[in-house]
Structure 1
Amino acid sequence: MRTSLLLLLSFSGITLSKPINQVFYDAGSNRQVVMQGQVFDVPSNPQPGFNLNLDELRLVQLSEGQEPVWMTELEKIEAKAKGLRFFDITDNRNLGLSADFRVATKASYPPLSAHEQVTKVIKTLSTEGPRANLEKFSSFRTRYYRSETGKESQQWLLSKINEVTADFASPSLKSLIGIDEFHHPWGQHSIIVRINGSDAANDQIVILGAHQDSTNLWPFLAAPGADDDGSGSVTILESYRALLASDFHPIRPVEFHWYSAEEGGLLGSQAIAQHYEAQGLKVYAMSQYDMTAWVKRGTVEEVGVIVDYVDSALTEFNKGLITEYLDIPFVETKCGYACSDHAPWSKAGYPSIFTIEGAFENSNHRNIHTANDRIDISDEFSFSHMLEFSKLAVAFAIELGG
């Protein structure tokens, strides 16, 4: 298995680090790395505002069924620039240990039954809040998870969630809501908002997720991350606001997750999924919203429904939500292994799905992971398109939360 993995990396132009007790790069030498035709100087000293050791060794899973390999942080960055997707499992090696049990007891999903309630809430959604929130969220120089501004952006997001809760939740609803940071050693914490269900016996959780971090191809550079994944972050925030304003009291618990460190190898979502698995928590359904703003010029506006590495029954249910509640159609598409934060939940055996801004090949590949991932880069960046995903998130929460 290791031979085939080495061939994969060799074909991609990635050189693996030497054995664990050695380091592939000499930290004292003048180093450069070439990625996508650009030459970057590799710093030999810590960079101000960043807590990133490029020579630190990490255990990385590059494909399903293959043995993980040790790579430096620099090699991870190179791999990502080559388009490889992966789990960094260094701190989450127990994820999925009880997955077989959960896969064998998969949930089923009922026919849609909350049309009146869903459509009432959908009518209150707006592009005004998402625009203002994304203007602020993408104004941080970078939201890289190992940067000071990445921590600052997370603190701003937490304050905004608290503000929305204070402004829109009724006193009775506030008593059901918990807002918590899930702490990570790199400093930028994930955020979990839980609306407790009215039926204590119904403990299966409904989760809506997005990732709050951003990155540049070279992580020390600016990364506004407006689409990836500022768009998904404010999409689910708007759905949360509308649900609170409607005095939504779910039967089963509904959670909103804003994950840290997706760009580092799904680190934040892995840590949370592993924690839920270890605690024996039940997840009824998990839906990821990663990149919801881009409508490529010359294409049909549609919702991309990911059909690989997802739960098939929940995916079919999600298609039904799109058909019933959205003004645009869906298109089936694939994104590959470990492509967003739904993947750790699937690895743990929980039913998870992923929707994206369109067919994967039509998404915003040109600008993400660059300084050009901005709101104003093109009229292809669409807040009305994002609104369709807020509708979907509202429908997901109400139809499954009860």
Structure 2
Amino acid sequence: MVRGIFSVLLLQACLALAAVPAVPVVDRRADGLRLVKTSDEDPGTWMTEEEKFENLVSKRIGFMDITDTMELEAIGAQRMTTNVKRASALAFPTTPSHQTEAKALIANLKQSNLQTWTNSLADFYNRYYRGSYAASSATWMHDTVVSVASANPAITVKQFTHSYNQPSVIAAIPGTSGSVVVVSAHYDSVGSSTSGRAPGADDNASGVVTILEALRVLAAAKYKPGNTLEFHFYSGEEGGLLGSRDVFNSYASNDVDVLAVMNQDMTGFSPNNVIAVYTDYVDSSLTSFIQKLVPVYTSLPLSTDKCGYGCSDHASARSAGYAAAYVCDENMADSSPYIHSASDTVSTVSFPHVLEHAKLTVGFLVEASYF
């Protein structure tokens, strides 16, 4: 297990998060309002769920709903600045060094599983976190993870409950170090309205099945990592990263030693046939390492881009003071035009492309087991 030297940049980033203006004094939750932020500097605006959808979700504007996690950024910054171990950045490797081990596992990935699970998720009319299918999609997610993980009795699977009726699901392969590495994706979906059809095949059934298949392969191999490997399936992402903020609020409050988080949101639509690793609102050292994994563990070229504030669940990990990275299927300009609509169907997903993301995920998990 390798720990790095003190990182001034990481410390400054955490202090910047702590310097965000205080949230409004008047608490409007009793009025049924939600507090949302659209930048690090934004103190937050109270709005109804309907206004949140019309002003932000429907316009694909990145935001965080901080109503239930108002102190997350302060907790994350305090955790980093008061504990030397946490204020020390990981010295992420400069090159991958466990290719033989990782590629033996990668050989067991099955594209057919990716398609089967994507079909099952897309069969839900929608998976909106406040909708009629929130609970049933959550049950499917939990039961499927339990089934996949059952090959290794050492793996634990739990539901992480929220203020809405759609728990997140967390599977953990226990390690020996006391530290944690996370791969994540959100399973909720939304359409052109909160009650409309939303198969969410690319956004984000594709990301879910990517890490689900990685879990299956490691479970079947009864893989024994150094660091605990966690697989997070978040709910409520489309409502402002609700599920992931709850999870990382809990982790930061309890000082869980999360070394790295690699989030994937959309892995199946790529006109340029690339793997995109985003470079804003992420940990630059972890991101650089993941960029180096792309040509080693996949057959696709690397693309980089920026996606803005709160564009996916890695932002919650960053708010908590953890090293986070975001991997996607395409750059912003060429990303799927079908997301958040009834047209985000399985027919738009390239499963060979999703398989490449699964390869990257297994490679990352094996490498990260040795951080």
Per the shorter chain, which TM-score range?
A: 0.7 to 0.9
Contact 2:28–2:34 (CA<8 Å) still a contact in 1? no
Once the two structures are superposed, residues 341-366 of structure 1 have per-residue CA deviations (whole angstroms, 9 ceiling, x without a partner) of: 000110111000001001121111x2
1:359 corresponds to: 331
Choose the corresponding residue for 1:239, options 214, 218, 227. 214
SS in 1 for 2:184: strand
Higher relative contact order (CA 8 A, sep 6+): 2
SS in 2 for 1:240: helix
Once the two structures are superposed, residues 213-264 of structure 1 have per-residue CA deviations (whole angstroms, 9 ceiling, x without a partner) of: 0001211111110110010001100111111122210011000000010000
Choose the corresponding residue for 2:112, options 124, 128, 134. 128
Identity of aligned residues (%): 36
- Give the CA deviation at 1:22: 12
Once the two structures are superposed, residues 143-188 of structure 1 have per-residue CA deviations (whole angstroms, 9 ceiling, x without a partner) of: 001123121011012111111122x33xxxx13x110000112110
Contact 1:205–1:255 (CA<8 Å) still a contact in 2? yes
Contact 2:185–2:232 (CA<8 Å) still a contact in 1? yes
Contact 1:59–1:68 (CA<8 Å) still a contact in 2? yes
SS in 2 for 1:60: strand
2: CA distance, partners of 1:203 / 1:20: 38
Choose the corresponding residue for 1:373, options 341, 344, 360. 344
SS in 1 for 2:230: strand
Amino acid of the structure 2 residue aligned with 1:117 = E
Choose the corresponding residue for 1:92, options 60, 65, 69. 69
- Compare CA radii of gyration and give the structure with the larger one: 1
1: CA distance, partners of 2:188 / 2:205: 8
After TM superposition, the structure 1 = structure 2 runs for residues 263-282 of structure 1, keeping only pairs within 5 Å, are: 263-282=238-257
Residue 116 in structure 1 maps to residue 100 in structure 2 = yes
Cα RMSD (Å):
1.7
SS in 2 for 1:361: coil
Q: Say if 1:352 and 1:367 are closer, same or farther in 2 by CA, change over 3 A.
A: same
2:19 corresponds to: none
Contact 2:131–2:194 (CA<8 Å) still a contact in 1? no
Amino acid of the structure 2 residue aligned with 1:64 = D
Choose the corresponding residue for 1:69, options 21, 41, 45. 45
2:130 corresponds to: 146
2:156 corresponds to: 178
SS in 2 for 1:96: helix
Amino acid of the structure 1 residue aligned with 2:339 = I
Contact 2:214–2:358 (CA<8 Å) still a contact in 1? yes
1:307 corresponds to: 279
2:88 corresponds to: 105
Q: TM-score scaled by structure 1? A: 0.81
Amino acid of the structure 2 residue aligned with 1:398 = V
Once the two structures are superposed, residues 75-97 of structure 1 have per-residue CA deviations (whole angstroms, 9 ceiling, x without a partner) of: 10012222321110000011022
Choose the corresponding residue for 1:397, options 336, 359, 365. 365
Amino acid of the structure 1 residue aligned with 2:256 = L
1: CA distance, partners of 2:29 / 2:329: 42
Of 107-116 and 249-258, deviating more is 107-116
Residue 155 in structure 1 maps to residue 130 in structure 2 = no
Contact 2:200–2:340 (CA<8 Å) still a contact in 1? yes
Contact 1:145–1:188 (CA<8 Å) still a contact in 2? yes
1:322 corresponds to: 294
- Give the CA deviation at 1:56: 2.8
After TM superposition, the structure 1 = structure 2 runs for residues 283-302 of structure 1, keeping only pairs within 5 Å, are: 283-296=258-271, 300-302=272-274
2: CA distance, partners of 1:61 / 1:165: 36
1:230 corresponds to: 205
Amino acid of the structure 1 residue aligned with 2:341 = T
2: CA distance, partners of 1:128 / 1:268: 29
Contact 1:77–1:217 (CA<8 Å) still a contact in 2? no
2: CA distance, partners of 1:21 / 1:163: 42
Contact 1:222–1:370 (CA<8 Å) still a contact in 2? yes
SS in 2 for 1:362: coil
Residue 193 in structure 1 maps to residue 171 in structure 2 = yes
2: CA distance, partners of 1:22 / 1:271: 17
SS in 2 for 1:181: strand
Structure 1 residues without counterparts, runs of 5 or longer: 1-18, 24-54
Superposed structure 1 runs of 4+ greater than 4 Å apart: 19-23
1:36 corresponds to: none
2: CA distance, partners of 1:178 / 1:78: 39
SS in 2 for 1:97: helix
